[in-house]
Amino acid sequence: MAQTYKTQEEDPYCADLEFPAMTELVPPIEGKRVLDAGCGHGRYAEWLIEREADVLAVDKNAEMLEQARRRIGDRAKIRRADITEPLTFVDNSEFDGVICGLSLHYVEDWRRPFREFARILRPGGFLVFSAQHPVDEYVAFEAENYFEIEQERMTWSASGEEIAVPFYRRPFSEVINPLIETGFQLDELVEPKPKESFKEKKPESFEKRLKYPTFLCVRASTSER
Ligand SMILES: C[S@@+](CC[C@H](N)C(=O)[O-])C[C@H]1O[C@@H](n2cnc3c(N)ncnc32)[C@H](O)[C@@H]1O
């Protein structure tokens, strides 16, 4: 999966829906220290580097990190780390921002990464993240109980074989309350619609996704004090 993840990045759901919404949420980052949490192949790390941010990219998967290394070389620091564990090599208030694209749905309780992001961010620092939309997950996976966090499996077939990837779906309250409980303030929440460029690639999905939620993109910040 790590080897074929590039296909996923180029899929219009990522390239023409989630990615543009996320990058529009990121404040000016030139010269800022930014953590790319769950960096995968380094899609966001590269975008941040191109805008002259000082980037640390982390992921728990060694093969994903290998691909990220090939993409960004020595233009950023790359470390293996699990975002559900303390980032012991990072000091308090060391970062101006954290970006976390499509990685949180592999984590059951978001309080753990959010608490750690809050610790490493300076006062007034930003967190920008994306996730599957709770409504889409609830319907697509015919959830037993909307109000519970439930483990589901998503089928990935880019490698030619079907792989069932476990993830956690959750109600809306389990997106917002963990943020508030860990000291973040919610600045902006976007339920993005596909860009026109999506239409040429997947016209039927385009029509559906104009009327039906797919992702959530959020910008939150730590208190200025
Ligand atoms: C769908 S990919 C997204 C990659 C990248 N952020 C992007 O948007 O292109 C999810 C990534 O999250 C990583 N991941 C999942 N759980 C993680 C954890 N607990 N700690 C760190 N990385 C994790 C996976 O290894 C994978 O690279």
Q: Which of 1-5, 7-11, 51-55 has the lowest mean pLDDT?
A: 1-5
| φ, ψ for residue 126, nearest 5 deg | -110, 150
pLDDT at 10 over 90: no
Cα–Cα distance, 8 to 6 (Å, whole number): 5
**Predicted local confidence at residue 199, as pLDDT:** 97
Q: Rounded to the nearest whole angstrom, what is the distance from the C-alpha of residue 52 to the centroid of ligand 1?
A: 23
Mean pLDDT of 150-172: 90
Q: How confident is the model at residue 126 (pLDDT cuts 50, 70, 90)?
A: very high
Catalogue all structural domains in the chain, each as residue range(s) with its CATH number.
5-132+171-222 (3.40.50.150)
**Predicted local confidence at residue 160, as pLDDT:** 78
**Predicted local confidence at residue 121, as pLDDT:** 98
Pocket test for ligand 1, best of 18, 26, 59 (most atoms within 8 A of CB): 59
**Predicted local confidence at residue 4, as pLDDT:** 73
Two tokens at 191? 């339920």
The secondary structure of the chain, three-state, reads CCCCHHHHHHCHHHHHHHHHHHHHHCCCCCCCEEEEECCCCCHHHHHHHHCCCEEEEEECCHHHHHHHHHHHCCCCEEEECCCCCCCCCCCCCCEEEEEEECCHHHCCCCHHHHHHHHHHEEEEEEEEEEEECHHHHHHHCCCCCCCCCEEEEEEECCCCCCEEEEEEECCCHHHHHHHHHCCEEEEEEECCCCCHHHHHHCHHHHHHHCCCCCEEEEEEEECCC
Q: Rounded to the nearest whole angstrom, what is the distance from the C-alpha of residue 225 to the centroid of ligand 1?
A: 31
Amino acid symbol at 122: R
Residue 218, strand partner residues: 129, 189
> Which is more confident, 159 or 56?
56
What are the pLDDT digits (tens) for 14-31? 999 999 999 999 999 999
Site residues for ligand 1, CB cut-off 6 Å: 9, 38-40, 43-44, 59-61, 64, 82-84, 101-103, 106-107
Q: Rounded to the nearest whole angstrom, what is the distance from the C-alpha of residue 74 to the centroid of ligand 1?
A: 20
pLDDT at 225 over 80: no
Mean pLDDT of 51-69: 97
- Nearest-CA residue for ligand 1 atom 26 is 40
Contact of 220 with 189, CB cutoff 8 Å: no
**Predicted local confidence at residue 186, as pLDDT:** 98
Q: How confident is the model at residue 93 (pLDDT cuts 50, 70, 90)?
A: very high
Name the nearest CA neighbour of 29 among 129, 117, 99, 115: 99
Q: Rounded to the nearest whole angstrom, what is the distance from the C-alpha of residue 117 to the centroid of ligand 1?
A: 15
pLDDT at 3 over 90: no
Q: Rounded to the nearest whole angstrom, what is the distance from the C-alpha of residue 180 to the centroid of ligand 1?
A: 23
Q: Which residues contact 10 (CB under 8 A, 6 or more apart)?
A: none
Two tokens at 197? 């460029």
**Predicted local confidence at residue 203, as pLDDT:** 95
pLDDT at 125 over 80: yes
Pocket test for ligand 1, best of 26, 60, 105, 127 (most atoms within 8 A of CB): 60
Q: Rounded to the nearest whole angstrom, what is the distance from the C-alpha of residue 191 to the centroid of ligand 1?
A: 21
Mean pLDDT of 52-56: 98
